[in-house]
Structure 1
């Protein structure tokens, strides 16, 4: 599967508050992922797709280790921002949301090496075109075994767990777009997140 040219999160956020760079010019392996300020907050963005891209880029920045300490401590160390009367009550901070997703993936006890799945085996061997099929299959099996979890949360948890494993095993072939497209392309997951009020309310 060929992935279209990726636009940077900063470009998608034109017209809203942009990411502050703590290390100008320093990029992660995901592309032009800016070093987000720990205290930076982002107003709600226009589209689900744009929000997903920024969340995934923040997640990759965390996975690649550039700001792991910042992301892990963000939710406990940073209080709610002070808002003026003109500002919306809901804010979008991709670093906080990425941290929540990373925690979900870390808490997943699924052992991929023990799972019998052709698509999963190919992903772990570097064939990332099977990533979407592997995530969907694993998520449905896991949610069937744990109905209280729900397919949508299982999907997000497994996708983060699997992309994390792939980054460790075959980093040269792992791209942001693979996770972005899997999430954006799943209407069930999208509807679930939008029903919460968007990514900015995910995990609240």
Structure 2
């Protein structure tokens, strides 16, 4: 600052600062390249799985014959689901921006994320509507098994047979989205 006022620049004051900034930038760049280059793409499946498991809990709460309709629990599940959706979308964007990644592989996940997001919206609408017809234990078991199969597929890439889900009296789109998700996940394994 004093050099700007006096118009007398001493390189012995400026040179160490410039060197310090250059070394710090190089260390930061090396750290990003070594440590964080594939973190988002590794965490993306986990965030998708977290979202799906919360959705399965909400589906069980909404359509179970036990009628767990405690507003506090439902509201908490919906907030958790919304947070996980945002985390999944942020993780997807971060994975796309990674320096060393397979863009086609990461872009392939987007239809899955979109379907999971649409399913979350539909479950939230079902919660807001209330007074839903219940599913039998066997029917709800098929839905929960489907969710868990999808999670296992995303996490471990294991093969499973697509489950034909029973129809819902209301919100048929929940069934349709889960069937679509099973097909998307199943197709992912073959590529």
Comparing both structures, which one devotes a greater share of its residues to helix? 2
Which gives a bigger RCO, structure 1 or 2 (Cα 8 Å, sep 6+)?
Answer: 2
Whether these two folds match at TM > 0.5 is no
TM-score calculated relative to the size of structure 2: 0.32
Greater Rg over alpha carbons, structure: 2
